[in-house]
Structure 1
Amino acid sequence: MMTSIVWIRKDLRLHDNPGLYHAAEAGKVLPVYIFDEDEKIGAAQKWFLHHALESFQKRLDSAGGKLFIAKGNPEKILNHLIKEYEITSIHWNRQYEPSVFNRDREIGEALHDQGLDVNTYEGRLLLPPWDVKKKDGEPYKVFTPFYKALQKHEVPQALPSVKKVDPVSFKKKDSLSLDDLELLPEIDWTGGMEKRWTPSEEAAVRRFQAFMDKKLKVYKKERDFPAAEVSSALSPYFALGLLSARSVYHSIKKNAEAAGEPFIRQLVWRDFAYSLITHFPETETDPMNDQFKDFKWMNEKNQFAAWKKGKTGFPIVDAGMRELWSTGYMHNRVRMIVGSFLTKDLLIHWREGADWFDDTLVDADVANNVMGWQWVAGSGADASPFFRIFNPTTQSEKFDPDGDYIKKWVPELKTMPAKHIHDPSGAPDDVLEEAGIVIGEDYPEPVVDHKAARQRALDRYDDVKKS
């Protein structure tokens, strides 16, 4: 009988967890979670992670397992545990963030050379990022052909939930407690997130089932309207592995294939993001389109601060940024609007926006975040052209016509009529007076003139093209 370590990372679930499943089938199991302080994780996701780990511990306990918690260098900790508990094999589900994947590969090779049985699995995506390629073996840079190619592959069925774990006994004092990881903030600012999220595997499954039952049929029609709240809001659960992408994929294929196709595309976008960051790891920090290496970004700190605080004077932008700050989440359409505003109206580098999202999103995910920001900035794969500059006012009028989303997150504008709520600074004086709003006092003046900012951005882009 084998005695195995299961290295737990972003796979905090019992259902369709290949590493845990195969280790439990093989013999005794020591599930190990190592908090590596060198891995980048933002404050909002740390809160989510704390509660997700707490829930996972309870789920694992119910199956007979015990989670060993450590903090520090994974290689040193794993080597120590292997010797201490006479481990004969190790299992983990792969992560594809470039630095993490390379580190894990080195760890695996070293352990294999020591005679350990090393097993790695796909537990994060529909398919490993090297499976979907062109006929010539090159990776795709455009989503639609990637999507069509993936459809020709068979996505493996999800594995059953782990019901029983035969645990490796360890001394309780040898393991850290969850509180020892210090994931929760010293000052409590998490009230909005606590109202919005329940970080557990059970909650993830319930949320998916509710989405299937109530929202999937109108998802295609209404997903771009933030006030409609028909998005799945499953991304935080995917980000830390409380929900299996393969389980979701096959559930939709089985029960709602026609209605579910638009959502299936979103799952495949996620695979596409990981394919890109696997084959082009430099895009984590550098533009995929070399033209943008010479782009002259600005660094207006006051405007960046206004953007982060949701005080730009553009209501749809401010609503999105305040939703983010309160709940650790933002509707996808609004993410595109605030991203376009930062990179094109304010000409602030997409990397600054990506860093802010990394710190404030509970669904922070390196591959998705980089792809999204490079897409909206025009510098990435299959990107929106740089000259496609969202007008925040017309986007607001189109996707929040009654201003319901704005009123929820920018309550100082709740008395504004729908006709003027999208551009309060342009409203007639009598409308502002009746609403009891003084621009510059009750609500900020716009930090830029959109028309002039748009032209400035286009001029910068022309300079890059000429060079």
Structure 2
Amino acid sequence: MGQKALVWFRRDLRHFDHAALYHALRDCASVFCVFVFDRDILDALPSREDRRVGFIHAALVELDAALRAAGGGLVVRHGRAVDEVPRLAEELGADAVYVNRDYEPQAIARDAAVAKALASAGRALHDFKDQVIFEQDEILTKGGTPYSVFTPYRRAWQAALTPDRLQSYPVGDHLAALCPPPAGAALPTLDAIGFSAGNLSELPMPTGMSGGEALFADFRDRIDRYRALRDFPARKGVSYLSAHLRFGTVSIRQLASYASFQGGQGAETWLSELIWREFYQMVLWHRPEVVDHCYRPVYDALQWDDWAEGFAAWCAGQTGYPLVDAAMRQLNQSGYMHNRLRMIAASFLTKDLGIDWRAGERYFAQQLIDYDLAANNGGWQWAASTGCDAQPWFRIFNPVTQSQKFDPAGAFIRRYVPELAAVPDRDIHAPWTLPPLTQSALGIRIGETYPAPIVDHAEARARTLARFRAVTPADKASAGAS
């Protein structure tokens, strides 16, 4: 118990039910808490107004205050984590560094480099499972291989779930081991690390541990209606916890425990969404090449269209398809997009515009507050039919019928596409079908005040089918013709 340790916070910005913090406090006499604004990540961001940095900074302010109230506090550095963590261990006389595992390829390489540097100085890196219930090889098929389809994975996940998997780590029992930061240590401002504090101070969702708890408390009152409402972006149906899950300001064990024991269709459906998150984490860990390549290698041969104007119109929400445009404008304005809309927008880019899923995945990565490599990559490959999906490549969303089904009154469209506010409900999903005189009476002119459709969906669908048939084995291609 004489040892000193660092707990290196990354995507786990809370001081409760925290595996690495619990083990460090239990095992060591003195524990310092550390966060690094990693320049290997930050310097690669295309904007100095990245919402994620604002979200992280706000979470750190709250975490630092909570740790200081318990006798500790955060030591925060701005530099390359592979350099700063070993340097901090040396400066603070730590014998070991405790972390929660990260499953992204670059994070795995970073942690290996840190472990090597620590070992060369006689120190250890101890890592723990924290951001998922099951990781790596814990859920495999009976043949010992990773699952490639979600539904059987979900069944195996739920069959393996036991109460001990959901037990919280009682961090509060061991807080006496926390050490305060060195004298004068303070959390740097956003300006100090090169980001625009003015533009990031007003985020469109509550931040930090308190924000996560407030959102979860609100969702608990609505969870019974989750299954019925979750696909309708104009309704308050989803949990809005995705960014908090991404940065660990909530505990996955507490969320999964609540959903598991609550019961009912709403909770069961939400638990399935939490399992989807782990499914994609598992896929990324076993198949890191999916970051740049199709999960199904045959589709690496797909010939996508190089259409800069089409991609720019999609990014800007100017495709002429109202629900697609509303979805993209929501993303650009808020850094968030409703999950049903993510599927619709991704399907439109890949199957109506014929543009490579990787371009859309990168755009989402730049814009989303809740960007998570595993989930984003998995979702895009699902929509593009290049990934893990029991449904074949000839599933192509019709953007008009999706709009009619999931925003029937056009409420979501009107919020983000105000040009169409006066269009009647029945016409707002395909306003280009309105006669010119009716358009004039409504104060719109398709092609002028709002774009005409950038593509014809039926023609685009035919091109997509031909694109996939060109690289699909004959037996599967013929099945798709039925």
When normalised by structure 2's length, the TM-score is 0.91
Among 18, 29, 32, the residue aligned to 2:31: 29
- C-alpha distance in 1 between matches for 2:198 and 2:188: 20
> 1:111·1:118 contact (CA, 8 Å) conserved in 2?
yes
Unpaired segments ≥5 residues, structure 2: 475-482
- Please, which of 137, 142, 158 is the counterpart of residue 149 of structure 2? 142
2:64 counterpart of 1:57? yes
1:209 to 212, 217, 234: 217
2:158 aligned with 1:156, yes or no? no
Q: Distance in 2 between matches of 1:207 and 1:74?
A: 31
The CA distance in 1 between the partners of 2:172 and 2:350, in whole Å, is 45
Post-superposition CA distance 1:249-296 (Å, at most 9, x none): 112223345541100000100100000000000001100111211111
User: Is the Cα contact below 8 Å between 1:339 and 1:377 reproduced in 2?
Assistant: yes
1:182 aligns with 2:183: no
Counterpart of 2:280 in structure 1 is 273
User: Deviations 1:298-327 (Å, cap 9, x if unpaired)?
Assistant: 121111111111111000000000111111
Displacement of 1:41 in angstroms is 5.8
| Residue of structure 1 equivalent to 2:207 | 199
The one-letter code sitting in structure 1 at the alignment partner of 2:217 is Q
1:218 to 206, 209, 225: 225
- The residue matched to 2:190 in structure 1 has which SS? helix
Report what 1:119 is aligned to. Answer: 126
Match in the other structure for 2:478: none
Tell me: CA distance 1:253–1:181, structure 2 relative to 1, closer, same or farther (3 Å). farther
- Give aligned pairs, total: 463
User: Are 1:345 and 2:346 counterparts?
Assistant: no
Partner-residue secondary structure (3-state), 2:65: helix
**Alpha-carbon deviation of 1:179?**
2.9
What SS is found at the alignment partner of 1:302? helix
Code of the aligned partner of 1:98:
P
Q: Aligned partners of 2:102, 2:132: CA distance in 1, in Å?
A: 10
CA contact (8 A) 2:322 2:417 kept: yes
Q: Report if aligned partners of 1:15, 1:160 keep a CA contact under 8 Å in 2.
A: yes
- CA drift at 1:383: 5.8
Q: Quick check: 2:224–2:264 contact (8 Å CA) kept in 1? A: no
Aligned mate of 1:264, from 271, 283, 287: 271
Aligned-partner residue type, residue 212 of structure 1: R
C-alpha distance in 2 between matches for 1:220 and 1:181: 44
Q: In structure 2, what is the Cα distance between the partners aligned to 1:293 and 1:226?
A: 33
Equivalent position of 1:129 in the other structure? 136
Distance 1:384 1:376, change over 3 A: farther
SS at structure 2 position matched to 1:420: coil
Point out where structure 1 has 5 or more consecutive residues left out of the alignment: none
Whole-Å separation in 2 of the counterparts to 1:112 and 1:175: 29
For residues 170-200 of structure 1, what are the alpha-carbon distances to aligned partners after superposition, in whole Å with 9 as ceiling and x for unaligned? 5455666243663643773x58x62x31111
Distance 1:100 1:169 in 2: 27
CA distance in 1, matches of 2:344, 2:127: 39
Letter in 2 for 1:19: A
Structure 1 CA distance, aligned partners of 2:302 and 2:470?
A: 8
**1:20 and 1:162 in contact (8 A); partners too:** no
Check the 8 A contact 1:307/1:318 in 2, yes or no: yes
The structure-2 alpha-carbon separation of the partners of 1:148 and 1:183, relative to structure 1 and needing over 3 Å to count, comes to: farther
Q: 1:126 to 1:306 in 2, by over 3 A?
A: same
Q: How far has the Cα of 1:391 moved from its partner?
A: 0.8
Tell me, yes or no, if the aligned pair for 1:41 and 1:358 is still in contact at 8 Å: no
Contact 1:3 1:168 in 2 (8 A): no
Q: Deviations over 1:216-263 (max 9, x none)?
A: 111111111111121111000001111111110112223345541100
Instruction: Kindly indicate whether the alpha-carbon contact (under 8 Å) linking 2:17 and 2:251 is maintained by their aligned counterparts in 1.
Output: yes
Structure 1 residues 110-119 or 436-445, which shifts more? 110-119
Match of 1:70 in 2: 77
Which amino acid in structure 2 is aligned with residue 9 of structure 1? R
Q: CA deviation at 1:159?
A: 1.7
Quote the Cα distance in structure 2 between the aligned partners of 1:108 and 1:297.
41
Alignment CA distance shift 1:88-1:279 (3 Å) = same
Which whole-Å CA distance do the structure 2 matches of 1:344 and 1:426 have between them? 22
Aligned partners of 1:316 and 1:392 also within 8 Å: yes
Code of the residue aligned with 1:439 in structure 2: it is I
Q: 1:241 to 1:41 in 2, by over 3 A?
A: farther
Equivalent position of 2:377 in the other structure: 370
Distance 2:261 2:473 in 1: 52
Q: Percent identity?
A: 36
